[in-house]
Amino acid sequence: MKFDDLDLKMRVYETAQDRSVLPEMYMVARIDGRSFTKLTKETYPFEAPFDQQFRDHMVETVKHLMTCGFNIIYGYTESDEISLLFHIAETAFSRKTRKYISILAGEASAKFSSLLGGVGAFDCRLSELPNQELVTDYFRWRNEDAHRNALNAHCYWKLRKDNHSEREATNKINGLSTSQKNELLFQYGINFNELPNWQKRGIGLYWHEVEKEGFNPKTNKATTVIRRELFVNYDLPMRDDYNRFILSLLHHNDNNISNNLNTTLNNTNTPNNKTKT
Ligand SMILES: Nc1nc2c(ncn2[C@@H]2O[C@H](COP(=O)(O)OP(=O)(O)O)[C@@H](O)[C@H]2O)c(=O)[nH]1
Ligand SMILES: [Mg+2]
């Protein structure tokens, strides 16, 4: 069989199940560390419940994902997970879900492993959200998850360091209300409200436009240029203020939508069976 015929015959098996995210749907990817309970407690002795170096590895991984070829307007990390909000007019890979999921899991695993000096792998899933309210709900959900995790993790490790077994500590925490957990920490001399916000709310990354001094070789004169820089926010707002913060990011990026949307529609409708995908 000629190569071209064989190529045509076999490629269909790879691509028949391909699907793309519809235009005007918001895409949010969540990338999560695989078996990081073992990685952080057995393979590597990270400090519990929160380790600054582990946090910094996660932040660097988010930066890498936000600059590896996609148009991502917001990155968020808490615990061993990363959420990424794509620009609504993102057109990369004709919005094929398998490309986003496999590339982001691969890039995150590669970056994190190189920082760690060992193997740390991530999985990835994609939410397709039809409106801005659901996008703010998504990020509020992860923000609340960070808050609950932080309270539980601080309680758990205080008990463990106070001679409770894994089972005793877990059972004790499961039977407590939120205010009782706060009280438990208080008895160990910790005021939960005073713990660093990054532990309780997670960390957000987004683009800032900054003016930089440049040099124009044609005119031989100094000039100012506008550059995009990633800003890392370790003091995110919480509750309804956080929903409003996400909404403001979405509105800020709305300006370019109408222009870009035409491109989205054109690109997603272009059949490209022949091109290597
Ligand atoms: N020691 C330590 N562990 C962390 C830190 N951040 C996240 N983890 C752990 O990462 C794990 C994340 O939970 P999950 O994704 O549900 O578990 P997995 O399925 O084992 O990856 C939990 O066991 C957390 O305690 C940290 O800063 N220090
Ligand atoms: Mg995990």
Mean pLDDT by 10 residues, the chain (277 residues): 97 96 98 98 96 98 98 98 98 98 98 98 98 98 98 98 97 97 98 98 97 90 93 98 98 65 35 37
pLDDT value of position 125: 98
pLDDT value of position 255: 62
**Cα→Cα distances 258→46, 76, 88, 138, 255, Å:** 46, 26, 10, 24, 7
**163/18 Cα distance (integer angstroms):** 53
Helix or strand (DSSP H, E) at 57: helix 52-66
CA-55 nearest atom, ligand 1: 27
CA-46 nearest atom, ligand 1: 1
CA 97 to chain centroid, in Å, comes to: 16
Report how far ligand 1's centroid is from the alpha carbon of 54 (Å).
10
Helix or strand (DSSP H, E) at 128: strand 122-129
Helix or strand (DSSP H, E) at 74: strand 72-78
Ligand closest to 33 (CA) is 2
CA-34 nearest atom, ligand 1: 21
pLDDT value of position 263: 37
pLDDT value of position 276: 46
**133/243 Cα distance (integer angstroms):** 9
**Going by CA atoms, what residue is nearest to atom 4 of ligand 1?**
40
CA-54 nearest atom, ligand 1: 27
**122/106 Cα distance (integer angstroms):** 8
Report how far ligand 2's centroid is from the alpha carbon of 54 (Å).
13
Ligand closest to 35 (CA) is 1
CA-41 nearest atom, ligand 1: 1
Residues with CB under 5 A from ligand 2 (ion): 32-33, 36, 80
| Residues ≥6 apart with Cβ < 8 Å to 160 | 166, 169
Which of 32, 36, 43, 154 best tests ligand 1's pocket when mutated (most atoms within 8 Å of CB)?
A: 36
CA-51 nearest atom, ligand 1: 27
**30/205 Cα distance (integer angstroms):** 15
Report how far ligand 2's centroid is from the alpha carbon of 258 (Å).
37
Report how far ligand 1's centroid is from the alpha carbon of 33 (Å).
8
**Going by CA atoms, what residue is nearest to atom 25 of ligand 1?**
37
Structural domains in the chain plus CATH codes: 19-269 (3.30.70.3000)
pLDDT value of position 176: 97
Phi and psi, residue 232, nearest 5°: -105, 120
pLDDT value of position 254: 82
Query: In one letter, which amino acid is 82?
Result: I
Q: Which residues line ligand 1 (CB under 6 A)?
A: 32-33, 35-37, 40-41, 46, 48, 50-51, 54, 79-80
| 45: preceding bond cis by omega (within 30 degrees) | no
